[in-house]
Structure 1
Amino acid sequence: MNILISNKMRNSEFMNNDIEINKALEKAEQAFEENKLIKALDLYNKVYKLSKGNDVDAIIGLALIYDYLGKSEKVKEYYKEALTIDEYEERAYYGLAAIYDDEGNYEKAIKLYNKAIYINPNYHKAYFFLANAYDVSGKKISAIETYEKLLRLNPMDFWANLNLGSIYEEENQNNLAYKKFSTALKIDPNNYLALFNMGVICYKFNMLKKAIRFYERAIGKNKDYEYSYLNLAVIYKYIDTKKGIKILSKGINNCINVDFLYYNRSCFYALINEENNACEDIIKALELYPQFLKYVLEDEELESIRELNSFKEFIKKEHRFV
């Protein structure tokens, strides 16, 4: 009789404990969604203690919070702990991969992303960041294959289309790049990067009027993106140099201390024999980025600028260039 009572009491304790864990877990998730990180941290710790460290959701929650707080070693500990409880916990593999990815340890990240995908073949985010890890580590073929797999799962993934198009463009597979950028623009017609990339492809296809329109639209959507000004100005470099200078000047005014815009405007000024303006710009470019000196000394367009006394005096005065 006593044993039965004892068992009933124990079962009741477990039920009450489970109810308390579920309530705390629900509150923790809500606090996390509301960006109340300290409250969420306290609640996840409560669940962790109540479950004696066996609640995977609480451990994953703790890892996510410490990730937000920039405590990467702590994050790794929690994800690894989650995997000791459940070796098929895809979120832990993905989370660990993301940490190693941020650290530039792409080899480890790639292995872990692949483990997450093995467990969940429909893990869209894992495919996306796996493809990116392949890309930045120079494994372009694997990156292409992974993005294509993701797009078979979700053809309307904007960033997958855009990133894959960029790789195709880098690999000079321009027809494929054009198709991916076109799809990206159908998904989001106002994204400045998609507009910019279409400008790049149109320029490669010698469709200059279209390239100009895309670059102008890209600038209209994001006036702080310096490469739109550069690429647009380059189109005008030899056909309307003064217009190119105006575009570069607009970029310099809208973007803060962009060294290569000064460098390029210097070259444009040199083309129309405005040597003083060219010299001022190349000095500004060198002040912002001294490593340009190597290119300045070899650039044929700047030959006359290198002979100016003002340029020579600047180089002589600046000990870092001597």
Structure 2
Amino acid sequence: MKDDMQINKYLEKAEEAFEKNKLIKALNLYNRAYELSNGEDIDAIINLALIYDFLGKSEKAKDYYKEALSIDNYEERAYYGLATIYDEEENYEEAIKLYNKAIYINPNYHKAYFFLANVYDVSEKKALAIETYEKLLSLNPMDFWANLNLGCIYEERNENGAAYKKFSKALRIDPNNYLALFNMGVIYYKFNMIEKAINFYERAIEKNKSYEYSYLNLAVIYKYADTKKGIEVLSSGINNCSETHFLYYNRSCFYALIGEENRACEDIIMALKLYPEFLKYILEDEELENIKKSNSFKEFVAKYSL
């Protein structure tokens, strides 16, 4: 009885330390609970695994999760924890098995459904991803990320009506999320509702000025209708974003369209400096035909090739 009280005291203090992000202190306290229980306290073992995973010691974390399962083969948290590690390692088949085991034990395990759906998505098992997200949403219709991610899968499959419904639901849950606003812009553009698409892209930029794809998609709308406006949008993106190589590439194409070949050449050279792999696309890009003939471009490519 005395040992049980001491174990619980260590567990409580460890949880407090963990919540304050004092991982080493929490680790030491969980270890004390583990030792005092002779390695039989499941909570101590699960939390040791969790902290070792946080600290980047995934093999150590796996050992503790497996130890928990050797004590209780129905410990859903251990299956889930192992699954997340294999997921991170891109061992998707193993992750899928383990997420499903966690769900078999606990059919209401929301996080397991979410990450299982994501694994199905990234491993190109889209139908299973849809099925899993829909199951999660039947349990928790207000899950923002499940609605948004499922909408993205529907949009990829060109099931735009279904995508619209999921993005709309995501925006009802969080009206100010830039990704939800961005994706609604994508859908309205597909619906050929251009003014609405522009509005949503502009709102997405307002909420997050560093998301480069909002600028790109908005600029593309203006590419032929108002090329200079498109250049302004891309320039704003270049000023506000860290990943700008494809914004420079696209601005080069826009400049080429209006005959500003010197600026187009400067931008395509900058794009190549930031991302040399663009060269193979540039050499095939008909919009940049005149730019590829310029001395500045030829000289840069000659040096780059060397």
Scaled to the shorter chain, the TM-score interval is over 0.9
Shift of 1:17: 1.1
Aligned to 2:279: 293
> Which of 168, 188, 204 lines up with 2:154 in the alignment?
168
Q: Which residue of 2 aligns with 1:185?
A: 171
Tell me which amino acid in the other structure corresponds to 1:190. Answer: N
Deviations 1:265-290 (CA, angstroms, capped at 9, x unpaired): 00000000000000000000111111
Q: Work out the CA distance in 2 between the residues paired with 1:287 and 1:35.
A: 40
What is the letter of the counterpart of residue 145 of structure 2? W
Q: Any idea what SS the aligned residue of 2:225 has? A: coil
1:282 — aligned with what? 268
Q: Which amino acid is the alignment partner of residue 155 of structure 2? A: E
Aligned counterparts of 1:244 and 1:106: Cα–Cα separation in 2: 41
Higher mean Cα deviation, 34-43 or 162-171? 34-43
Quote the residue 1:159 is aligned against.
145
SS at match of 1:224: coil
Q: How do residues 61-140 of structure 1 correspond to structure 2 at under 5 angstroms?
A: 61-140=47-126
The one-letter amino acid paired with 1:89 is E
The reply on whether 1:40 has 2:26 as its aligned counterpart is yes
Structure 1 stretches of at least 4 aligned residues deviating more than 6 Å after TM superposition: none
Q: CA deviation at 1:42?
A: 1.1
Greater shift, 256-265 or 150-159, is seen at 256-265
**Following TM superposition, by how much is the alpha carbon of 1:127 offset from its aligned partner in structure 2, in angstroms?**
0.2
Larger radius of gyration: 1
Asked if the contact 1:257–1:288 (Cα under 8 Å) also holds between the matched residues in 2, the reply is no
Shift of 1:257: 4.6
* Aligned-partner residue type, residue 47 of structure 2: G
User: What is the rounded CA distance, in whole Å, between the counterparts of 1:113 and 1:125 in structure 2?
Assistant: 9
Q: Is the 2:15–2:26 contact (alpha carbons within 8 Å) kept by the matching residues of 1? A: yes
SS of corresponding position for 1:147: helix
**Preserved contact between residue 212 and residue 243 of structure 2 (Cα < 8 Å):** no
How far, CA to CA, are the matches of 2:150 and 2:305 in structure 1?
A: 45
Partner of 1:149: 135
Greater Cα offset, 251-260 or 277-286: 251-260
Match of 1:226 in 2: 212
RMSD (Å), alpha carbons: 0.7
Asked if structure 2 preserves the Cα contact closer than 8 Å seen for 1:237 and 1:268, the reply is: yes
Distance 2:154 2:305 in 1: 44
Which ranges in structure 2 are unaligned for 5 or more consecutive residues?
none
Task: Give, in whole Å, the separation in 1 of the partners of 2:294 and 2:252.
Answer: 13
Aligned counterparts of 1:69 and 1:102: Cα–Cα separation in 2: 14
Residues 44-63 of structure 1 aligned to structure 2 (within 5 Å): 44-63=30-49
2:114–2:136 contact (8 Å) kept in structure 1? yes
Cα displacement (A) at 1:233 = 0.1
CA distance in 2: counterparts of 1:240 and 1:18, whole angstroms: 73
Residue 245 of structure 2 corresponds to residue 251 of structure 1: no
1:242-272 superposed Cα distances (whole Å, 9 cap, x missing partner) = 0000000000000125110000000000000
Determine helix, strand or coil for the equivalent of 2:283. helix
SS of the residue 2:200 aligns to = helix
Which deviates the most, 254-263 or 143-152?
Answer: 254-263
310-319 or 239-248, larger mean C-alpha shift: 310-319
* TM-score of the aligned structures, taking structure 2 as reference length: 0.99
Partner residue of 1:319?
Answer: 305
Corresponding position of 2:258: 272
Query: SS of the counterpart of 1:318?
Result: helix
Distance 1:25 1:255 in 2: 44
Aligned residue pairs: how many?
A: 306
Question: Does structure 2 retain, via aligned residues, the 8 Å contact 1:165–1:181?
Answer: yes
CA distance in structure 2 between the aligned counterparts of 1:45 and 1:253, rounded to whole angstroms: 50
Which residue pairs with 1:3 in the alignment? none
d(CA) in 2 for partners of 1:140, 1:18 = 48
Separation in 1, partners of 2:237, 2:50: 39
> 1:201 is matched with which residue?
187
Could you tell which deviates more after superposition, 106-115 or 255-264? Answer: 255-264
Matching residue's letter, 1:215 = Y
CA shift digits 1:57-81 (9 cap, x unpaired):
0001101111111100000000000
